[in-house]
């Protein structure tokens, strides 16, 4: 039997192949490697700055080697040691020490002046920074696909629906571009994201640091060290980095997820109206009993997974910045679920992209929906009555049109009887539902 059939989470079972980026960035393997990188980089900084006499050829070679690549056997060794220590970060320290058996003095300096949460805060910052590259890339892909769809349909006049009811016409391209501009705004915020760590020991006061080296500027040392890894220092902290930057990032992602969710629901609705058709895959089954069906499963899949992703991101954002006194342990188990939120998001975005690639606008259906829907022009008619100074213009048009369809003949008759200004009358007489789109075509291209 396939081992994945026994997985509890679909992220590692059914969707294993669809969550490769999230697994690479947030798996237990990735966390251990990030911790090892944090330890080895600090060892290198400390030796170079305070104990350069201990850097012999073998030490230098080992540090260089591990800084470039963390070997899988070392990761396995960490897990093996953890069975005895029952402490994951201590296991990292001990496993790394075995790599420097040639020098007890170097071994003694591994994890010098650090607490586990220094290592953890840096490790999660590194993992999130790595994942950010994929996040930006996937968001860019969604933007690009939507821009193409908007551009392709910028002039496709379409009936709007406000409250689900027929409303003043728009263009399909403009409605798609609404999502483009919303996502771009949040993307701009993502580009400004910062990743932070604390680096001041047990309660972030640099107690042993100052005791051993009272003349050193330890805040500057911490900043310089973290800068090498493109991580910002949280100068004032408790035992843990307060995770406010994580909450800001996760809420930013939630907003992007929510916009994409809104998009998926609109696309699903347009498909149900036959405004979009889906390019068919020969072997894909839409229904187990109705062979004719081509279901919008990609958009449905995206909607469900965005819901799961946002639920987790919401909890992460609310819980992580809260900790009792100088620190409680409740953040630790929660942090391990960051990858789950990213995993569901990865599935959702890829499903959205797959669905968008299948879309083809049914321009004839969209156009037919506008034909003979002259009641959609009543907004224009009552507006021109107002311009003529008729304060009851709205009520006059409401009596003619509310809750009923209006064909061309009825519309022209209303214009003839109600409008006095000849210039206004000509404008309204020449108007058709498909022409009444305002600036929609231009708005479809605005950034």
218 lies in a domain? no
Are 332 and 297 members of one domain?
yes
Are 156 and 245 members of one domain?
yes
DSSP per-residue letters across 383-413: HHHHHTT-TTHHHHHHHHHTTS---HHHHHH
Three-state secondary structure call for residue 166 = strand
Are 182 and 269 members of one domain?
yes
User: What pLDDT is attached to residue 285?
Assistant: 55
Are 303 and 352 members of one domain?
yes
219 lies in a domain? no
Kindly report, residue by residue over 317-359, the tens digit of the pLDDT: 999 999 999 999 899 999 999 999 999 999 999 999 999 999 9
Are 400 and 336 members of one domain?
no
- Which residue range forms the structural domain that includes residue 38? 3-114
> End-to-end CA distance of the chain, in Å?
52
Are 155 and 268 members of one domain?
yes
CA 327/CA 74 separation, integer angstroms: 30
Kindly report, residue by residue over 249-291, the tens digit of the pLDDT: 999 999 999 999 999 999 999 999 999 999 866 656 555 554 4
Last residue of a domain, one of 341, 367, 393: 367
Last residue of a domain, one of 323, 344, 367: 367
Kindly report, residue by residue over 196-226, the tens digit of the pLDDT: 999 999 999 999 999 999 999 999 999 999 9
Are 401 and 435 members of one domain?
yes
Are 253 and 156 members of one domain?
yes
**Bridge partner list, 278:** 359
Angle of helix 57-68 versus helix 28-50 axis, rounded to 10: 150
Give the residue from 170, 160, 167 showing the smallest Cα distance to 442. 170
Are 332 and 401 members of one domain?
no
Catalytic annotation, pick one of 61, 108, 272, 287: 287
Q: How confident is the model at residue 2 (pLDDT cuts 50, 70, 90)?
A: low
Q: How confident is the model at residue 397 (pLDDT cuts 50, 70, 90)?
A: confident
Last residue of a domain, one of 114, 148, 181: 114
Residue 392 sits in a domain whose CATH number is 1.10.40.30
Angle of helix 338-357 versus helix 297-319 axis, rounded to 10: 150
Q: How confident is the model at residue 7 (pLDDT cuts 50, 70, 90)?
A: confident
Are 326 and 407 members of one domain?
no
Does residue 287 have an active-site annotation?
yes
Question: How many domains would you assign to the chain?
Answer: 3
The answer to whether the CB of 36 falls within 8 A of the CB of 48 is: no
User: What pLDDT is attached to residue 401?
Assistant: 67
User: What pLDDT is attached to residue 282?
Assistant: 60
Q: Strands 359-361 and 276-278: what pairing?
A: antiparallel
Least confident of 28-42, 389-403, 426-440: 389-403
DSSP 8-class letter at 114 = -
Does residue 163 have an active-site annotation?
yes
247 lies in a domain? yes
With a cut of 80, say whether residue 404 has pLDDT above it.
no
204 lies in a domain? no
Average pLDDT, the chain: 94
Catalytic annotation, pick one of 163, 288, 292, 422: 163
Are 428 and 353 members of one domain?
no
Are 179 and 292 members of one domain?
yes
User: What pLDDT is attached to residue 400?
Assistant: 74
């Amino acid at each position: 039997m396939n081992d994945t059939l026994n997985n509890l989470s679909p992220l590692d079972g059914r969707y294993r192949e669809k969550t490769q980026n999230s697994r690479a960035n947030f798996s237990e393997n990735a966390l251990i490697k990030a911790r090892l990188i944090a330890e080895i980089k600090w060892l290198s900084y400390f030796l170079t700055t305070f104990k350069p006499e201990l850097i012999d050829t073998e030490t230098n070679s080992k540090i260089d080697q591990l800084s470039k690549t963390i070997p899988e056997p070392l990761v396995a060794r960490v897990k093996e040691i953890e069975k005895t220590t029952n402490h994951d970060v201590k296991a990292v320290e001990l496993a790394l020490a075995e790599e420097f058996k040639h020098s007890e003095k170097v071994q003694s300096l591994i994890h010098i002046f650090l607490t586990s949460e220094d290592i953890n805060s840096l490790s999660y910052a590194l993992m999130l920074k790595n994942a950010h590259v994929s996040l930006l890339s996937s968001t860019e892909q969604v933007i690009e696909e939507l821009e193409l769809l908007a551009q392709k349909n910028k002039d496709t006049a379409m009936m709007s629906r406000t409250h689900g009811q027929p409303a003043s016409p728009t263009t399909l391209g403009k409605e798609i571009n609404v999502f483009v501009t919303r996502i771009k705004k949040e993307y701009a915020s993502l580009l400004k994201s910062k990743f932070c760590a604390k680096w001041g020991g047990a309660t972030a006061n640099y107690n042993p640091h100052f005791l051993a080296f009272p003349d050193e500027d330890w805040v500057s040392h911490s900043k310089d060290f973290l800068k090498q890894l493109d991580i910002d220092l949280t100068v004032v902290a408790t035992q843990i980095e307060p995770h406010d930057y994580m909450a800001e990032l996760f809420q930013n992602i939630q907003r992007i997820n929510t916009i994409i969710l809104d998009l998926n629901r609109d696309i699903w609705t347009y498909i149900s109206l036959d405004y979009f058709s889906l390019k068919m895959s020969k072997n894909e089954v839409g229904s187990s009993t109705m062979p004719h069906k081509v279901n919008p499963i990609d958009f449905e899949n995206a909607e469900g997974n965005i819901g799961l992703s946002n639920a987790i991101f919401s909890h992460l954002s609310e819980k992580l910045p809260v900790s009792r006194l100088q620190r409680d342990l409740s953040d630790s188990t929660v942090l391990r679920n960051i990858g789950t939120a990213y995993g569901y998001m990865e599935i959702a975005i890829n499903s959205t992209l797959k669905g968008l690639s299948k879309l083809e606008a049914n321009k004839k259906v969209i156009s037919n929906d506008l034909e003979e829907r002259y009641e959609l022009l009543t907004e224009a008619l009552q507006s021109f009555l107002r311009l003529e100074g008729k304060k009851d213009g709205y009520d006059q048009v409401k009596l003619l049109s509310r809750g009923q369809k209006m064909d061309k003949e009825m519309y022209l008759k209303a214009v003839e009887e109600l409008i006095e200004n000849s210039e206004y009358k000509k404008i309204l007489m020449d108007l058709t539902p498909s022409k009444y789109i305002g600036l929609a075509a231009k708005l479809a291209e605005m950034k």
